[in-house]
Structure 1
Amino acid sequence: MQIKDIQIDENHKETTLHGSYDFPMAVYVNQLDKNVLGFINWHWHEEIQFSMVTKGEVEFLVNQNAYTLKEGQGIFINSACLHMSKPVANSDSTYICINADPKMFTFFPGSAIEQKYVKPFLKSHTYSMIVMKCEMEWQNKVLNKINTIYDLYSQKAYGYELDICLELADMWRLLITNQNKTIREENINKYIDQQRIKTIMSYIHEHYMEKITLQEIAAVVHISKGECCRSFKRVVKCTVFEYILNYRINKSIELLRLTDMTVSQIADLTGFGSTSYYIESFKKKVSCTPKEYRKSIIGK
Protein backbone atom coordinates (compact mmCIF):
# COMPACT_ATOMS: atom_id res chain seq x y z
CA MET A 1 0.00 0.00 0.00
CA GLN A 2 1.16 3.55 -0.75
CA ILE A 3 -0.16 6.90 0.44
CA LYS A 4 0.27 9.36 -2.41
CA ASP A 5 -0.70 12.50 -0.50
CA ILE A 6 -0.35 12.64 3.28
CA GLN A 7 -3.25 14.49 4.91
CA ILE A 8 -2.33 16.72 7.86
CA ASP A 9 -4.22 18.99 10.24
CA GLU A 10 -3.53 22.61 11.18
CA ASN A 11 -0.75 21.49 13.56
CA HIS A 12 0.98 19.44 10.84
CA LYS A 13 -0.11 16.23 12.51
CA GLU A 14 -0.86 13.43 10.06
CA THR A 15 -4.54 12.46 10.15
CA THR A 16 -4.14 9.07 8.44
CA LEU A 17 -5.46 6.12 10.42
CA HIS A 18 -2.62 3.61 10.43
CA GLY A 19 -4.18 0.19 10.64
CA SER A 20 -7.36 -0.08 12.71
CA TYR A 21 -8.53 0.55 16.27
CA ASP A 22 -8.03 -3.09 17.22
CA PHE A 23 -4.69 -3.44 15.38
CA PRO A 24 -3.11 0.04 15.19
CA MET A 25 -0.19 -0.45 12.84
CA ALA A 26 0.36 -0.44 9.10
CA VAL A 27 3.09 -1.15 6.56
CA TYR A 28 3.62 0.95 3.44
CA VAL A 29 5.93 0.90 0.43
CA ASN A 30 6.71 4.52 -0.43
CA GLN A 31 7.95 5.02 -3.99
CA LEU A 32 8.65 8.73 -3.80
CA ASP A 33 7.90 9.70 -7.40
CA LYS A 34 4.34 8.41 -6.89
CA ASN A 35 3.73 11.09 -4.27
CA VAL A 36 2.02 14.21 -5.62
CA LEU A 37 5.02 16.45 -4.89
CA GLY A 38 7.69 13.80 -5.47
CA PHE A 39 8.56 13.67 -1.76
CA ILE A 40 6.88 13.14 1.62
CA ASN A 41 6.28 16.58 3.11
CA TRP A 42 6.83 17.60 6.73
CA HIS A 43 4.48 15.94 9.21
CA TRP A 44 4.39 14.16 12.55
CA HIS A 45 2.28 11.46 14.15
CA GLU A 46 1.83 9.67 17.46
CA GLU A 47 2.96 6.38 15.93
CA ILE A 48 6.61 5.35 16.02
CA GLN A 49 8.14 4.65 12.63
CA PHE A 50 10.65 2.16 11.28
CA SER A 51 11.79 2.68 7.67
CA MET A 52 14.23 0.85 5.41
CA VAL A 53 15.38 1.92 1.95
CA THR A 54 14.82 -0.75 -0.69
CA LYS A 55 15.80 1.18 -3.82
CA GLY A 56 17.99 4.20 -4.55
CA GLU A 57 18.88 6.74 -1.85
CA VAL A 58 16.51 8.63 0.42
CA GLU A 59 17.19 11.68 2.56
CA PHE A 60 15.27 11.67 5.83
CA LEU A 61 15.00 14.94 7.70
CA VAL A 62 14.10 14.58 11.38
CA ASN A 63 13.75 17.78 13.42
CA GLN A 64 16.83 19.73 12.24
CA ASN A 65 19.05 16.85 11.10
CA ALA A 66 19.38 15.29 7.65
CA TYR A 67 20.35 11.66 7.01
CA THR A 68 21.01 10.15 3.58
CA LEU A 69 20.30 6.42 3.57
CA LYS A 70 21.27 3.93 0.90
CA GLU A 71 19.59 0.68 -0.05
CA GLY A 72 19.50 -1.69 2.92
CA GLN A 73 19.86 1.06 5.53
CA GLY A 74 17.06 2.19 7.82
CA ILE A 75 15.90 4.69 10.41
CA PHE A 76 13.80 4.72 13.56
CA ILE A 77 11.74 7.91 14.12
CA ASN A 78 10.19 8.40 17.53
CA SER A 79 6.62 9.47 18.26
CA ALA A 80 5.70 13.14 17.65
CA CYS A 81 8.91 14.02 15.79
CA LEU A 82 8.65 16.27 12.74
CA HIS A 83 10.05 14.53 9.68
CA MET A 84 10.02 14.34 5.91
CA SER A 85 11.70 12.27 3.19
CA LYS A 86 12.84 12.92 -0.36
CA PRO A 87 14.82 11.12 -3.08
CA VAL A 88 18.50 11.97 -3.42
CA ALA A 89 19.20 11.15 -7.07
CA ASN A 90 16.68 8.66 -8.45
CA SER A 91 13.15 10.04 -8.27
CA ASP A 92 11.74 6.51 -7.83
CA SER A 93 13.76 5.82 -4.67
CA THR A 94 11.67 3.56 -2.44
CA TYR A 95 11.46 2.53 1.19
CA ILE A 96 9.37 0.30 3.44
CA CYS A 97 7.65 2.23 6.23
CA ILE A 98 6.17 0.69 9.38
CA ASN A 99 3.98 2.94 11.52
CA ALA A 100 2.95 1.44 14.87
CA ASP A 101 1.01 2.93 17.75
CA PRO A 102 3.06 2.76 20.99
CA LYS A 103 0.15 0.79 22.47
CA MET A 104 1.45 -2.15 20.45
CA PHE A 105 4.38 -2.40 22.88
CA THR A 106 2.65 -1.85 26.23
CA PHE A 107 0.42 -4.99 26.45
CA PHE A 108 -2.12 -3.03 28.56
CA PRO A 109 -2.43 0.52 30.00
CA GLY A 110 -0.50 0.98 33.23
CA SER A 111 1.57 -2.18 32.76
CA ALA A 112 5.14 -2.41 34.03
CA ILE A 113 6.20 -2.64 30.39
CA GLU A 114 4.52 0.69 29.62
CA GLN A 115 5.87 2.46 32.72
CA LYS A 116 9.46 1.16 32.57
CA TYR A 117 10.20 0.53 28.92
CA VAL A 118 7.87 2.57 26.72
CA LYS A 119 6.78 5.89 28.23
CA PRO A 120 10.26 7.05 29.33
CA PHE A 121 11.60 6.49 25.83
CA LEU A 122 8.67 8.20 24.09
CA LYS A 123 8.74 11.27 26.36
CA SER A 124 12.48 11.86 26.07
CA HIS A 125 13.58 14.58 23.65
CA THR A 126 17.01 12.95 23.64
CA TYR A 127 15.92 10.00 21.53
CA SER A 128 14.23 11.32 18.40
CA MET A 129 15.76 8.95 15.85
CA ILE A 130 18.32 6.20 15.20
CA VAL A 131 19.97 5.49 11.85
CA MET A 132 20.43 1.75 11.35
CA LYS A 133 23.08 0.07 9.22
CA CYS A 134 23.91 -3.56 8.49
CA GLU A 135 27.43 -3.23 9.89
CA MET A 136 26.19 -3.10 13.50
CA GLU A 137 24.84 -6.46 14.65
CA TRP A 138 21.80 -5.31 16.63
CA GLN A 139 20.82 -2.79 13.95
CA ASN A 140 21.09 -5.47 11.28
CA LYS A 141 18.66 -7.58 13.32
CA VAL A 142 16.17 -4.69 13.35
CA LEU A 143 16.53 -4.23 9.58
CA ASN A 144 15.86 -7.94 9.03
CA LYS A 145 12.76 -7.68 11.21
CA ILE A 146 11.46 -4.80 9.06
CA ASN A 147 11.56 -7.19 6.09
CA THR A 148 9.94 -9.93 8.15
CA ILE A 149 7.07 -7.66 9.24
CA TYR A 150 6.59 -6.50 5.64
CA ASP A 151 6.21 -10.14 4.52
CA LEU A 152 3.86 -10.99 7.39
CA TYR A 153 1.69 -7.92 6.73
CA SER A 154 1.57 -8.56 2.98
CA GLN A 155 0.67 -12.25 3.23
CA LYS A 156 -1.73 -11.98 6.21
CA ALA A 157 -1.60 -15.69 6.99
CA TYR A 158 -3.48 -16.95 10.03
CA GLY A 159 -1.85 -15.61 13.19
CA TYR A 160 0.08 -12.84 11.41
CA GLU A 161 -1.00 -10.27 14.02
CA LEU A 162 0.60 -12.33 16.78
CA ASP A 163 3.79 -12.74 14.77
CA ILE A 164 3.97 -9.00 14.03
CA CYS A 165 3.48 -8.14 17.72
CA LEU A 166 6.34 -10.46 18.66
CA GLU A 167 8.63 -8.95 16.02
CA LEU A 168 7.76 -5.38 17.06
CA ALA A 169 8.37 -6.16 20.73
CA ASP A 170 11.79 -7.61 19.91
CA MET A 171 12.66 -4.57 17.76
CA TRP A 172 11.71 -2.30 20.64
CA ARG A 173 13.81 -4.34 23.07
CA LEU A 174 16.81 -4.06 20.75
CA LEU A 175 16.36 -0.30 20.52
CA ILE A 176 16.04 0.52 24.19
CA THR A 177 18.79 -1.83 25.35
CA ASN A 178 21.29 -0.39 22.84
CA GLN A 179 20.23 3.27 22.86
CA ASN A 180 23.04 4.61 25.01
CA LYS A 181 25.60 3.18 22.62
CA THR A 182 24.27 4.88 19.49
CA ILE A 183 22.19 8.00 20.20
CA ARG A 184 23.68 11.46 20.63
CA GLU A 185 22.04 13.65 23.20
CA GLU A 186 20.11 16.59 21.74
CA ASN A 187 20.93 19.96 23.26
CA ILE A 188 18.34 22.43 24.46
CA ASN A 189 18.75 24.66 21.40
CA LYS A 190 17.57 21.87 19.11
CA TYR A 191 14.51 21.33 21.25
CA ILE A 192 13.72 25.06 21.18
CA ASP A 193 14.10 25.06 17.40
CA GLN A 194 11.63 22.20 17.09
CA GLN A 195 9.01 23.95 19.20
CA ARG A 196 9.44 27.17 17.22
CA ILE A 197 8.94 25.35 13.93
CA LYS A 198 5.76 23.66 15.14
CA THR A 199 4.39 27.08 16.14
CA ILE A 200 5.38 28.64 12.81
CA MET A 201 3.81 25.77 10.86
CA SER A 202 0.60 26.07 12.86
CA TYR A 203 0.45 29.80 12.05
CA ILE A 204 0.99 29.10 8.34
CA HIS A 205 -1.74 26.45 8.33
CA GLU A 206 -4.21 28.91 9.88
CA HIS A 207 -3.35 31.85 7.59
CA TYR A 208 -2.21 30.33 4.27
CA MET A 209 -5.27 31.83 2.52
CA GLU A 210 -4.00 35.31 3.40
CA LYS A 211 -0.90 37.26 2.53
CA ILE A 212 1.78 36.22 5.06
CA THR A 213 4.84 38.33 5.82
CA LEU A 214 8.09 37.26 7.43
CA GLN A 215 7.58 39.92 10.11
CA GLU A 216 4.27 38.34 11.12
CA ILE A 217 5.80 34.87 11.32
CA ALA A 218 8.79 36.05 13.37
CA ALA A 219 6.48 37.88 15.77
CA VAL A 220 4.56 34.66 16.48
CA VAL A 221 7.69 33.06 18.00
CA HIS A 222 9.13 36.34 19.36
CA ILE A 223 12.38 36.36 17.41
CA SER A 224 13.93 38.54 14.70
CA LYS A 225 13.24 37.95 11.02
CA GLY A 226 16.84 36.84 10.49
CA GLU A 227 16.74 34.30 13.33
CA CYS A 228 13.34 33.13 12.10
CA CYS A 229 14.80 32.37 8.65
CA ARG A 230 17.88 30.67 10.10
CA SER A 231 15.89 28.57 12.58
CA PHE A 232 13.38 27.44 9.95
CA LYS A 233 16.09 26.57 7.44
CA ARG A 234 18.03 24.62 10.09
CA VAL A 235 15.09 22.36 10.82
CA VAL A 236 13.01 22.21 7.64
CA LYS A 237 15.88 22.55 5.12
CA CYS A 238 13.95 25.02 3.00
CA THR A 239 12.93 28.66 3.35
CA VAL A 240 9.73 29.76 5.05
CA PHE A 241 8.26 30.86 1.74
CA GLU A 242 9.15 27.61 -0.03
CA TYR A 243 7.26 25.82 2.71
CA ILE A 244 4.25 28.15 2.37
CA LEU A 245 4.21 27.53 -1.39
CA ASN A 246 4.26 23.75 -0.94
CA TYR A 247 1.49 23.93 1.64
CA ARG A 248 -0.70 26.11 -0.59
CA ILE A 249 -0.22 23.74 -3.50
CA ASN A 250 -1.19 20.77 -1.31
CA LYS A 251 -4.34 22.57 -0.18
CA SER A 252 -5.18 23.46 -3.77
CA ILE A 253 -4.83 19.79 -4.73
CA GLU A 254 -7.48 18.93 -2.13
CA LEU A 255 -9.84 21.46 -3.74
CA LEU A 256 -9.10 20.20 -7.24
CA ARG A 257 -9.98 16.70 -6.11
CA LEU A 258 -12.97 17.36 -3.92
CA THR A 259 -14.74 20.39 -5.43
CA ASP A 260 -15.80 21.77 -8.80
CA MET A 261 -14.39 25.23 -8.04
CA THR A 262 -12.66 26.97 -10.92
CA VAL A 263 -8.90 27.30 -11.05
CA SER A 264 -9.24 31.03 -10.41
CA GLN A 265 -11.39 30.43 -7.34
CA ILE A 266 -8.89 27.92 -5.99
CA ALA A 267 -5.98 30.29 -6.62
CA ASP A 268 -7.76 32.99 -4.64
CA LEU A 269 -8.82 30.68 -1.81
CA THR A 270 -5.33 29.23 -1.29
CA GLY A 271 -3.53 32.56 -1.08
CA PHE A 272 -1.78 32.71 -4.46
CA GLY A 273 -3.07 36.17 -5.28
CA SER A 274 -3.27 35.61 -9.03
CA THR A 275 -4.37 32.74 -11.25
CA SER A 276 -1.29 32.98 -13.48
CA TYR A 277 1.08 32.72 -10.53
CA TYR A 278 -0.86 29.72 -9.20
CA ILE A 279 -0.74 27.89 -12.54
CA GLU A 280 2.98 28.65 -12.95
CA SER A 281 3.82 27.49 -9.40
CA PHE A 282 1.65 24.37 -9.68
CA LYS A 283 3.27 23.32 -12.95
CA LYS A 284 6.78 23.71 -11.51
CA LYS A 285 5.92 21.48 -8.55
CA VAL A 286 3.56 18.90 -10.05
CA SER A 287 4.73 18.93 -13.72
CA CYS A 288 1.27 19.67 -15.07
CA THR A 289 -1.31 22.47 -14.87
CA PRO A 290 -4.16 22.39 -12.32
CA LYS A 291 -6.65 21.63 -15.09
CA GLU A 292 -4.51 18.77 -16.39
CA TYR A 293 -4.19 17.40 -12.87
CA ARG A 294 -7.95 17.55 -12.27
CA LYS A 295 -8.57 15.85 -15.62
CA SER A 296 -6.15 13.03 -14.72
CA ILE A 297 -7.96 12.48 -11.39
CA ILE A 298 -11.41 12.44 -13.02
CA GLY A 299 -10.17 9.91 -15.55
CA LYS A 300 -9.17 7.42 -12.84
Structure 2
Amino acid sequence: MSERATEVFVAHRNLLFTVAYEMLGSAADAEDVLQETWLRWVEVDLAQVRDERAYLVRVTTRQALNRLRALKRRREAYVGPWLPEPLLTSPDVAENVELAESVSMAAMLVLETLSPTERAVFVLREVFDVGYDEIAGAVGKTQAAVRQIAHRARQHVDARRPRETVTPDETKAVLESFRRAFETGDLQGLLDVLAPEVVLVSDGGGVKQAALRPVSGSDKVARFIFGGTGKADATITVGPTVVNGNPALVLRLDGEIDGVLALRVGGGRVTGLYYVRNPEKLTRVQAETPLTLR
Protein backbone atom coordinates (compact mmCIF):
# COMPACT_ATOMS: atom_id res chain seq x y z
CA MET A 1 0.00 0.00 0.00
CA SER A 2 2.88 2.38 0.72
CA GLU A 3 4.24 1.80 -2.78
CA ARG A 4 0.80 2.52 -4.24
CA ALA A 5 0.48 5.68 -2.13
CA THR A 6 3.86 6.89 -3.37
CA GLU A 7 2.99 6.10 -6.97
CA VAL A 8 -0.30 8.04 -6.81
CA PHE A 9 1.23 11.02 -5.02
CA VAL A 10 4.11 11.30 -7.50
CA ALA A 11 1.68 11.06 -10.42
CA HIS A 12 -0.26 14.08 -9.13
CA ARG A 13 2.58 16.01 -7.52
CA ASN A 14 2.93 18.69 -10.21
CA LEU A 15 -0.81 19.34 -10.11
CA LEU A 16 -0.81 19.60 -6.31
CA PHE A 17 2.17 21.96 -6.39
CA THR A 18 0.41 24.17 -8.95
CA VAL A 19 -2.75 24.30 -6.83
CA ALA A 20 -0.75 25.25 -3.72
CA TYR A 21 1.39 27.79 -5.58
CA GLU A 22 -1.63 29.53 -7.12
CA MET A 23 -3.18 29.79 -3.68
CA LEU A 24 -0.02 30.97 -1.91
CA GLY A 25 2.19 32.73 -4.46
CA SER A 26 5.20 31.12 -2.82
CA ALA A 27 7.04 28.03 -4.02
CA ALA A 28 8.64 27.50 -0.63
CA ASP A 29 5.25 27.51 1.11
CA ALA A 30 3.76 25.34 -1.63
CA GLU A 31 6.48 22.74 -1.00
CA ASP A 32 5.68 22.80 2.72
CA VAL A 33 2.01 22.24 1.90
CA LEU A 34 2.91 19.26 -0.27
CA GLN A 35 4.95 17.79 2.59
CA GLU A 36 1.97 18.19 4.93
CA THR A 37 -0.31 16.63 2.31
CA TRP A 38 2.04 13.67 1.92
CA LEU A 39 2.14 13.03 5.68
CA ARG A 40 -1.65 12.86 5.73
CA TRP A 41 -1.83 10.83 2.52
CA VAL A 42 0.36 7.97 3.79
CA GLU A 43 -2.01 7.51 6.74
CA VAL A 44 -5.04 7.03 4.47
CA ASP A 45 -6.63 3.67 3.72
CA LEU A 46 -6.51 3.80 -0.08
CA ALA A 47 -9.19 1.15 -0.34
CA GLN A 48 -11.63 3.76 1.02
CA VAL A 49 -10.62 6.47 -1.48
CA ARG A 50 -12.94 6.62 -4.49
CA ASP A 51 -11.17 9.42 -6.42
CA GLU A 52 -7.48 9.70 -5.52
CA ARG A 53 -6.87 12.91 -7.48
CA ALA A 54 -9.88 14.67 -5.95
CA TYR A 55 -8.89 13.49 -2.48
CA LEU A 56 -5.34 14.81 -2.83
CA VAL A 57 -6.53 18.16 -4.24
CA ARG A 58 -8.94 18.49 -1.30
CA VAL A 59 -6.21 17.80 1.28
CA THR A 60 -3.79 20.16 -0.48
CA THR A 61 -6.42 22.89 -0.57
CA ARG A 62 -7.14 22.57 3.13
CA GLN A 63 -3.46 22.74 4.04
CA ALA A 64 -2.87 25.68 1.68
CA LEU A 65 -5.89 27.51 3.09
CA ASN A 66 -4.58 27.14 6.64
CA ARG A 67 -1.18 28.42 5.57
CA LEU A 68 -2.65 31.26 3.54
CA ARG A 69 -4.53 32.59 6.56
CA ALA A 70 -1.28 32.64 8.53
CA LEU A 71 0.62 34.23 5.64
CA LYS A 72 -1.94 37.03 5.31
CA ARG A 73 -0.98 38.25 8.77
CA ARG A 74 2.74 37.88 8.05
CA ARG A 75 2.51 39.78 4.76
CA GLU A 76 0.90 42.74 6.50
CA ALA A 77 4.26 43.27 8.24
CA TYR A 78 6.30 42.76 5.04
CA VAL A 79 8.75 45.58 4.23
CA GLY A 80 7.48 47.31 1.07
CA PRO A 81 5.27 45.72 -1.58
CA TRP A 82 4.99 41.92 -1.64
CA LEU A 83 5.33 40.10 -4.99
CA PRO A 84 4.85 36.40 -5.78
CA GLU A 85 7.91 34.19 -5.95
CA PRO A 86 8.91 33.95 -9.64
CA LEU A 87 9.32 30.50 -11.19
CA LEU A 88 11.39 29.60 -14.22
CA THR A 89 8.95 27.61 -16.33
CA SER A 90 9.24 25.27 -19.31
CA PRO A 91 8.04 26.07 -22.87
CA ASP A 92 4.94 23.88 -22.43
CA VAL A 93 3.70 26.17 -19.66
CA ALA A 94 4.07 29.20 -21.93
CA GLU A 95 2.23 27.35 -24.71
CA ASN A 96 -0.72 26.64 -22.41
CA VAL A 97 -2.47 30.03 -22.60
CA GLU A 98 -4.87 29.28 -19.74
CA LEU A 99 -2.09 28.14 -17.40
CA ALA A 100 0.32 30.94 -18.36
CA GLU A 101 -2.35 33.56 -17.74
CA SER A 102 -3.35 32.11 -14.38
CA VAL A 103 0.22 32.12 -12.99
CA SER A 104 1.33 35.43 -14.49
CA MET A 105 2.60 38.01 -12.00
CA ALA A 106 -0.31 40.32 -12.80
CA ALA A 107 -2.91 37.59 -12.23
CA MET A 108 -1.25 36.37 -9.04
CA LEU A 109 -1.30 39.90 -7.63
CA VAL A 110 -5.02 40.17 -8.33
CA LEU A 111 -5.52 36.94 -6.37
CA GLU A 112 -3.77 38.60 -3.43
CA THR A 113 -6.73 40.99 -3.12
CA LEU A 114 -9.13 38.11 -2.39
CA SER A 115 -9.84 36.66 1.04
CA PRO A 116 -8.25 33.23 1.66
CA THR A 117 -11.54 31.38 1.12
CA GLU A 118 -12.39 33.43 -1.99
CA ARG A 119 -8.96 32.68 -3.41
CA ALA A 120 -9.28 28.95 -2.78
CA VAL A 121 -12.72 28.81 -4.37
CA PHE A 122 -11.69 30.94 -7.35
CA VAL A 123 -8.52 28.97 -8.03
CA LEU A 124 -10.22 25.60 -7.81
CA ARG A 125 -13.24 26.60 -9.88
CA GLU A 126 -11.85 29.02 -12.48
CA VAL A 127 -8.36 27.63 -12.95
CA PHE A 128 -8.72 23.90 -12.26
CA ASP A 129 -12.42 23.48 -13.12
CA VAL A 130 -13.17 21.59 -9.91
CA GLY A 131 -16.84 20.85 -9.24
CA TYR A 132 -18.75 22.84 -6.62
CA ASP A 133 -19.34 19.73 -4.54
CA GLU A 134 -15.61 18.99 -4.32
CA ILE A 135 -14.81 22.63 -3.54
CA ALA A 136 -17.40 22.64 -0.78
CA GLY A 137 -15.67 19.65 0.81
CA ALA A 138 -12.26 21.31 0.51
CA VAL A 139 -13.19 24.66 2.06
CA GLY A 140 -15.80 23.44 4.54
CA LYS A 141 -18.76 25.33 3.06
CA THR A 142 -22.09 24.31 1.55
CA GLN A 143 -22.39 24.12 -2.24
CA ALA A 144 -24.77 27.10 -2.20
CA ALA A 145 -22.24 29.17 -0.24
CA VAL A 146 -19.43 28.10 -2.58
CA ARG A 147 -21.44 29.22 -5.62
CA GLN A 148 -21.96 32.65 -4.05
CA ILE A 149 -18.29 32.94 -3.11
CA ALA A 150 -17.23 31.90 -6.63
CA HIS A 151 -19.54 34.50 -8.20
CA ARG A 152 -18.27 37.26 -5.91
CA ALA A 153 -14.62 36.32 -6.46
CA ARG A 154 -15.09 36.15 -10.24
CA GLN A 155 -16.60 39.65 -10.31
CA HIS A 156 -13.75 40.95 -8.15
CA VAL A 157 -11.08 39.43 -10.38
CA ASP A 158 -12.76 40.44 -13.66
CA ALA A 159 -12.89 44.06 -12.49
CA ARG A 160 -9.14 44.11 -11.85
CA ARG A 161 -7.49 42.06 -14.57
CA PRO A 162 -6.61 43.40 -18.04
CA ARG A 163 -9.37 42.99 -20.62
CA GLU A 164 -7.01 43.04 -23.60
CA THR A 165 -5.61 39.73 -24.84
CA VAL A 166 -1.92 40.03 -25.69
CA THR A 167 -0.10 37.33 -27.65
CA PRO A 168 3.31 36.01 -26.55
CA ASP A 169 4.87 37.47 -29.72
CA GLU A 170 3.51 40.93 -28.88
CA THR A 171 4.88 40.64 -25.37
CA LYS A 172 8.28 39.52 -26.65
CA ALA A 173 8.46 42.48 -29.06
CA VAL A 174 7.70 44.98 -26.30
CA LEU A 175 10.10 43.20 -23.96
CA GLU A 176 12.89 43.45 -26.54
CA SER A 177 12.27 47.18 -27.02
CA PHE A 178 12.37 47.65 -23.24
CA ARG A 179 15.54 45.61 -22.93
CA ARG A 180 17.28 47.50 -25.74
CA ALA A 181 16.45 50.88 -24.20
CA PHE A 182 17.53 49.68 -20.77
CA GLU A 183 20.87 48.28 -21.92
CA THR A 184 21.78 51.35 -23.98
CA GLY A 185 20.64 53.86 -21.37
CA ASP A 186 18.19 55.33 -23.87
CA LEU A 187 15.80 57.35 -21.69
CA GLN A 188 13.59 58.44 -24.57
CA GLY A 189 13.51 54.90 -25.92
CA LEU A 190 12.39 53.67 -22.52
CA LEU A 191 9.71 56.35 -22.28
CA ASP A 192 8.44 55.34 -25.71
CA VAL A 193 7.87 51.74 -24.64
CA LEU A 194 6.27 52.61 -21.29
CA ALA A 195 2.56 53.37 -21.17
CA PRO A 196 1.83 56.79 -19.59
CA GLU A 197 0.00 55.09 -16.69
CA VAL A 198 2.63 52.35 -16.15
CA VAL A 199 3.12 51.15 -12.56
CA LEU A 200 6.32 49.59 -11.22
CA VAL A 201 6.21 47.39 -8.13
CA SER A 202 9.52 46.29 -6.62
CA ASP A 203 10.06 43.71 -3.90
CA GLY A 204 13.29 43.79 -1.92
CA GLY A 205 11.85 42.17 1.19
CA GLY A 206 13.77 44.62 3.37
CA VAL A 207 16.99 42.94 2.25
CA LYS A 208 17.65 44.60 -1.12
CA GLN A 209 16.94 48.22 -2.02
CA ALA A 210 13.48 48.67 -3.55
CA ALA A 211 10.74 51.28 -3.68
CA LEU A 212 8.59 51.06 -0.56
CA ARG A 213 5.53 52.02 -2.60
CA PRO A 214 4.51 51.40 -6.22
CA VAL A 215 5.95 53.95 -8.66
CA SER A 216 3.39 55.35 -11.12
CA GLY A 217 3.78 57.19 -14.43
CA SER A 218 6.23 56.63 -17.28
CA ASP A 219 8.54 59.51 -16.37
CA LYS A 220 8.88 58.48 -12.71
CA VAL A 221 9.29 54.80 -13.60
CA ALA A 222 11.97 55.49 -16.22
CA ARG A 223 13.94 57.71 -13.87
CA PHE A 224 13.58 55.19 -11.04
CA ILE A 225 14.97 52.44 -13.28
CA PHE A 226 17.94 54.41 -14.54
CA GLY A 227 18.51 56.05 -11.15
CA GLY A 228 18.80 52.67 -9.45
CA THR A 229 21.00 50.95 -12.02
CA GLY A 230 23.18 54.03 -12.45
CA LYS A 231 24.28 53.73 -8.83
CA ALA A 232 25.31 50.09 -9.15
CA ASP A 233 29.06 49.65 -8.80
CA ALA A 234 29.05 46.53 -10.97
CA THR A 235 28.58 45.31 -14.53
CA ILE A 236 24.86 44.97 -15.27
CA THR A 237 23.63 42.44 -17.82
CA VAL A 238 20.05 41.78 -18.87
CA GLY A 239 18.86 38.54 -20.42
CA PRO A 240 15.50 37.15 -21.55
CA THR A 241 13.85 34.36 -19.61
CA VAL A 242 10.41 32.84 -19.12
CA VAL A 243 8.92 33.36 -15.69
CA ASN A 244 5.52 31.99 -14.67
CA GLY A 245 4.84 31.07 -18.29
CA ASN A 246 5.47 34.59 -19.58
CA PRO A 247 8.45 36.42 -21.12
CA ALA A 248 10.55 38.26 -18.54
CA LEU A 249 14.06 39.58 -17.92
CA VAL A 250 16.71 38.46 -15.48
CA LEU A 251 19.16 41.13 -14.27
CA ARG A 252 22.65 40.19 -13.18
CA LEU A 253 25.32 42.20 -11.38
CA ASP A 254 28.82 40.90 -12.19
CA GLY A 255 27.21 37.65 -13.31
CA GLU A 256 25.17 37.10 -10.14
CA ILE A 257 21.37 37.21 -10.33
CA ASP A 258 20.15 40.48 -8.83
CA GLY A 259 16.49 40.23 -9.72
CA VAL A 260 13.75 39.17 -12.09
CA LEU A 261 11.64 41.69 -13.98
CA ALA A 262 8.22 40.59 -15.24
CA LEU A 263 6.10 42.80 -17.49
CA ARG A 264 2.42 43.35 -18.18
CA VAL A 265 1.77 44.57 -21.72
CA GLY A 266 -1.22 46.39 -23.18
CA GLY A 267 -1.72 48.50 -26.27
CA GLY A 268 1.80 47.70 -27.47
CA ARG A 269 3.43 49.19 -24.36
CA VAL A 270 4.47 48.19 -20.86
CA THR A 271 1.62 48.84 -18.42
CA GLY A 272 3.06 47.05 -15.42
CA LEU A 273 6.53 46.14 -14.14
CA TYR A 274 7.17 43.66 -11.33
CA TYR A 275 10.74 43.59 -10.06
CA VAL A 276 11.62 40.88 -7.54
CA ARG A 277 14.95 41.44 -5.78
CA ASN A 278 14.36 39.65 -2.49
CA PRO A 279 17.08 36.94 -2.53
CA GLU A 280 14.78 34.46 -0.77
CA LYS A 281 12.47 34.61 -3.79
CA LEU A 282 15.13 34.02 -6.45
CA THR A 283 15.90 30.37 -5.80
CA ARG A 284 13.50 29.10 -8.50
CA VAL A 285 14.74 31.07 -11.50
CA GLN A 286 17.63 28.83 -12.56
CA ALA A 287 15.91 25.45 -12.77
CA GLU A 288 12.52 24.89 -14.35
CA THR A 289 9.52 24.22 -12.14
CA PRO A 290 6.88 21.98 -13.76
CA LEU A 291 3.33 23.29 -13.55
CA THR A 292 0.11 21.72 -14.80
CA LEU A 293 -3.66 22.13 -14.71
CA ARG A 294 -4.35 18.40 -14.95
Tell which has more relative contact order, 1 or 2 (C-alpha 8 A, sep 6+).
2
Specify which structure has the higher proportion of helix.
Answer: 2
Shorter-chain TM-score above 0.5 = no
TM-score, normalised to structure 2, is 0.29
